[in-house]
A and B are shown apart, each in its own frame.
Chain A
Amino acid sequence: MSFDSKQSLNRREFFSYLTVGWVMFTAATSGILALCFRFTYPNVNFEPEMEFVAGTPSDYPAGVDERWKNSYGVWMVKQEGKLIALSNICTHLGCIPNWLPAELKFKCPCHGSGYYMSGINFEGPTPRPLERFKVGLQPDGKIKVDKTKVYRWEKGEWDNPESFLEV
């Protein structure tokens, strides 16, 4: 028998090549799938601005101010010497609560979650308080609200000096 082992593969080599082949195939397939998955997340999306300038602290009377609610989804709440920017997204399932001035509470129409003026939840199915956004003063004395930075009560973040303005 003139079997040339240099040119053809022996059994062991064949299987190791096969393994390498399958590993590469699997890796390539999962790579392509991962790319398809990544494709579903756009790099840029055209949603409302995450930062806005909200006048001066003296513009706001004590209590809840709704002027930025529809445009930026923010309530400005002035209470106990603090001015805060409160998110208007219900922490239950993302509906928009209504501010009920007579009862001094935010009430979500979808499932009846209720929040105090401070944003703390007290009734309904919601698991946690409303979120607060970063507020700061610009050099020209105007308030800047930054919605990219979120402060949560249950993590103890409401003591963070960036989460409110002393007024």
Chain B
Amino acid sequence: MSGKGIAQKVRDTQVWKSIFRHGPPDNARNRAAVVAGNVFLHLHPIKLKKSGVQLGYTWCMGGLTFFIFLALTVTGLLLMFYYRPTAEYAYNDIIALREHVPLGIMREIHRWGAHAMVITVWIHMFRVFMTGSYKPPREFNWGVGVILLVLTLLLSFTGYLLPWDQLAIWAITVGSGMAKATPFMGNAGPGAMLARIGDFVMVSDKNDVRFQLLGGRFVGEPALLRFYILHCVFIPLVVGVLIAVHFWRVRKDGGISAPL
């Protein structure tokens, strides 16, 4: 074959050209076009200060957190094909995920990924603090990050109940037991005593925050269902929106921090 190679022929097809609007990123113009023209890559600026791309400065922990979040979304979605959030089936479905399903490590990836995400979020925060990156103009984005950190912990906490084993229900019993002690809003918290009219107790174990969280007075089937919905739908949605805000603000606040 003379003239064009196969690669070039593929690049010349109408299909290829319709997907990629520019040539290979080997010159300045195309490098700009490849980042700006791709919906996924356009999270990035086109050029960046050198300190901002070096691992020694960024530690890459924020990016890894985002990646692990995506990986958890995918693995979690796959797990939902087999898992039923009822007291009757949940535990057996978890066993089935190990024994009756091909590629029996999907749950392992999900669980270890969840732990890894907690760790990477913490270290991301550690790095951001150490480089003073919360300082103006990035104060607001630091706050968004703190809320994302809390939501990461809540995601992990709600997921902890789903296997419905001894580890799960007692960890959640202890964890939600603290909600019971919320001042004024939990039945065993300070101030709950004051909210009573004669014999009628306004904040009891049937209407406090813990009851709302668990859908019952103890960790039972309603709690399993509520945690499942919170874990699979509600918190991921909120996290997704906040991640968008977080990334948007990183760009709008001038990209990754660098000396002024």
Do A and B touch directly, given a CB cutoff of 8 Å in the complex?
yes
Residues of chain A whose beta carbon lies under 8 Å from any beta carbon of chain B: 40-42, 45-47, 91-95, 110
Interface size counted on chain B using CB atoms at 8 A: 18
Q: How would residues 87 to 103 of chain B score, 1 for a CB under 8 Å from any chain A CB and 0 otherwise?
A: 00000000000000000
Contact residues of B: prevailing secondary structure: helix
**B199-219: which residues lie under 8 A (CB-CB) from chain A?**
207, 211-212, 215-218
26 A/B residue pairs, CB under 8 Å, sorted by A: A40-B212, A41-B207, A41-B211, A41-B212, A42-B215, A42-B222, A45-B215, A45-B216, A45-B217, A45-B222, A46-B221, A47-B216, A47-B217, A47-B218, A92-B177, A93-B174, A93-B177, A93-B178, A93-B180, A94-B176, A94-B180, A94-B218, A95-B170, A95-B173, A95-B174, A95-B177
Bound-state CA distance A41–B178 (Å) is 19
- Does B113 lie at the interface of the complex (its beta carbon under 8 Å from any beta carbon of A)? no
Bound-state CA distance A44–B180 (Å) is 20
Bound-state CA distance A48–B217 (Å) is 10
B216 / chain A contacts, CB cutoff of 8 Å: 45, 47
B222, chain A: closest CB distance, angstroms: 6
A95 / chain B contacts, CB cutoff of 8 Å: 170, 173-174, 177
B20, chain A: closest CB distance, angstroms: 46
Bound-state CA distance A47–B207 (Å) is 15
Q: Is A110 within 8 A of B174, CB to CB?
A: yes
- Does B117 lie at the interface of the complex (its beta carbon under 8 Å from any beta carbon of A)? no
Bound-state CA distance A157–B221 (Å) is 33
Q: How would residues 161 to 203 of chain B score, 1 for a CB under 8 Å from any chain A CB and 0 otherwise?
A: 0000000001001101110100000001000000000000000
Bound-state CA distance A110–B170 (Å) is 9
- Does B236 lie at the interface of the complex (its beta carbon under 8 Å from any beta carbon of A)? no
Bound-state CA distance A92–B177 (Å) is 8
Closest 3 CB pairs of A and B: A93-B177, A94-B177, A93-B174
A148, chain B: closest CB distance, angstroms: 9
Q: Is B207 within 8 A of A94, CB to CB?
A: no
- Does B220 lie at the interface of the complex (its beta carbon under 8 Å from any beta carbon of A)? yes
B115, chain A: closest CB distance, angstroms: 22
CB-based nearest B residue for A89: B218
Bound-state CA distance A93–B210 (Å) is 12
Beyond A93-B178, A94-B173, A94-B218, 12 extra complex contacts between A and B, CB < 8 Å: A41-B211, A45-B215, A45-B216, A45-B222, A46-B221, A92-B177, A93-B173, A93-B174, A94-B176, A95-B170, A95-B173, A110-B170
Bound-state CA distance A20–B218 (Å) is 45
A18, chain B: closest CB distance, angstroms: 31
Bound-state CA distance A109–B253 (Å) is 50
Given A41-B207, A42-B222, answer yes or no on A94-B174 (Cβ-Cβ < 8 Å): yes
A92 / chain B contacts, CB cutoff of 8 Å: 177
A94 / chain B contacts, CB cutoff of 8 Å: 173-174, 176-177, 180, 218
B174 / chain A contacts, CB cutoff of 8 Å: 93-95, 110
Bound-state CA distance A42–B211 (Å) is 10
Bound-state CA distance A155–B222 (Å) is 32
Bound-state CA distance A91–B222 (Å) is 22
B235, chain A: closest CB distance, angstroms: 15
B128, chain A: closest CB distance, angstroms: 33
Bound-state CA distance A46–B215 (Å) is 10
B217 / chain A contacts, CB cutoff of 8 Å: 45, 47
B178 / chain A contacts, CB cutoff of 8 Å: 93
